[in-house]
Structure 1
């Protein structure tokens, strides 16, 4: 299986590699290009422990990229300058995602305008949803783990910045578009302009969602 190109950014490693949960919903990866066949997909990457602080690696195990439903597009668009579109990629807490949208706690879902915005969106989710433990569906032991990871993360393990997180998003098959927000490469709408292609993606081997 071809693995997406490794990233060149490097940050002091955490001492122990995090274990990514083996849920079947996250395991479908193309044997052709190494990218996920579908979303949702965890933000976590196998080499996170080499690039990120312990706390950032833990965050990525508990946040997933997903494609907005019509309900997401309607509810999350309130108070925003830019509309949320069905199919647009956002990030959300993996624990409360099955609750009705209006029953999820504050900060459970974000829709960055671009890949470089994923980093700040994750920081926001950490501050108002993950770290403070307001998620009603997150196990108590995991809430404690978040608190402990903040206490044990050293200053030199502060983690990687927005460009690293953007490049990591590309490894999940996410792309920026000119007017349709972040999109999953296998479901880019007809006529949408992708701002940057993904290395090694064999688009001719897949049927687009709109065909």
Structure 2
């Protein structure tokens, strides 16, 4: 089966390709001729994921899935949440987003947080949603060179290393995106697509 992953983030594509069985081939936006930025104006992760998937399906006519991920920090009432990618404003910058997060958590002892991913899948006329959550905490300084986004400051529950210190296989087993992709893969393989 060939399906488009509606994202311009090459690191996300790499993570998802590593988690999928060989029977499912991921095609990037670039490979279908989509060079534009996808719309992402919703106020929930579900809305954004479906908005991106529907845009690709309607404009390019291909079956696809899109994701949206948010980091939800308890002490910040769930922020940055749906605005995680642009927390520090435009242009988007992982570095500035992490700086702002650490600044906003300065002096706060409750560092509990969770990453949440929603995947919106469109196959033909049908739409499906899958979710994955990774609970953990935000540490006070960056550690690790792998991953992207908030990975260098997020330590998942039961571990003492950040997502940025884990290799891709380890991260995919426990991450929010890994769990959502696992649910997607189980669905696709059970339907024999």
Task: Quickly name the TM-score band, shorter chain normalised.
Answer: under 0.3
Task: Tell me the TM-score normalized by structure 1.
Answer: 0.25
Task: Tell me the TM-score normalized by structure 2.
Answer: 0.27
Q: Compare relative contact order (CA 8 Å, sep 6+) and give the higher one, 1 or 2.
A: 1
**Larger % of helix: which?**
2
